[in-house]
Amino acid sequence: MSSDRRRLRPRALLAAACLLLPPALAGCRHDMQNQNKMRPYRLSTFYADGASARPLPAHTVARGDLRADEAYETGIRDGRPVADLPFPVSRELLQRGRQRYDIYCSPCHGRVGDGKGMIVTRGYKQPPSFEEEQLRHAQVGYFFNVMTQGFGVMPSYSAQVSVADRWAIAAYIRVLQYSQAAPLSDLPPETQKAIAGDLATSAGPAAGSPAPGSAAVPPSVAPAAPRPQTSEVP
């Protein structure tokens, strides 16, 4: 009986201390902010090699990390940018592409892809306009690859933008290119009439190209000629 009481005493003292000494309360906590875990690359005395991280077993792939489809993951097949999107073009895809483009690309490339984004006006290197001949003829896989790998001073966006979203953006870049050079005859008849009316009433500058995204979906996302110097992609 008396030995039982002695065994309880230290715990009772600790509880009392925690209640009576508010500043000491922090020391009584053993919850999520204080875990028995290893940070990456932290030294460990547990394993013989002194590293807490275990080497990957040979010939294994972490769950969800299998990159079996090279063209889908890189935009390149047999050393050349792929010409087609990996999935059919839909309005939803292009809208998703526009939304992601506006978030991740327009700060530098501008909302219409002219390379005059806000960051550029503050001194960042100006990217080329997507209207440039070379980029107009680039395959859709090329845009995917630039986003994935980065290009020159432009960083890779593979960490921020998922594979599927990078394809959606690549498709939307085609829309931007098309919207900036769409022939009047491609627009719906009502829009053509409205523009003709505007042109007739205003002697000023032509009410030129339609706003991005307002034009019809491009007939094809695959342009004519392949881009010659793909090996330049870093």
The site for ligand HEC (CB under 6 A) is made up of: 104-105, 107-109, 119, 124-125, 127-128, 143, 146-147, 151-154, 157, 161, 169
Q: Are strands 80-81 and 76-77 parallel, antiparallel or unpaired?
A: antiparallel
Least distance in angstroms from the C-beta of 136 to ligand HEC: 11
Least distance in angstroms from the C-beta of 222 to ligand HEC: 16
Least distance in angstroms from the C-beta of 119 to ligand HEC: 5
Query: 36: which 2 tokens?
Result: 């028995």
Residue with Cβ nearer ligand HEC (161 or 215) = 161
3-state helix, strand, coil in the chain (%, to 5): 45, 5, 50
Residue with Cβ nearer ligand HEC (152 or 197) = 152
Nearest in space to 146 (alpha carbons), one of 130, 131, 133: 130
Sign of the Cα torsion 140, 144, 147, 150 reads: negative
Backbone angles phi, psi at 51, to 5 degrees: -100, 140
Residue with Cβ nearer ligand HEC (72 or 151) = 151
Residue with Cβ nearer ligand HEC (171 or 215) = 171
Least distance in angstroms from the C-beta of 98 to ligand HEC: 12
Residue with Cβ nearer ligand HEC (168 or 215) = 168
Q: Which residue is nearest to ligand HEC (CB)?
A: 152
The DSSP 8-state label assigned to residue 93 in this structure reads H
- Show the CA angle centred on residue 172, arms to residues 167 and 176, nearest 5°: 150
Least distance in angstroms from the C-beta of 130 to ligand HEC: 7
- CB-based contact 165:99 (threshold 8 Å): no
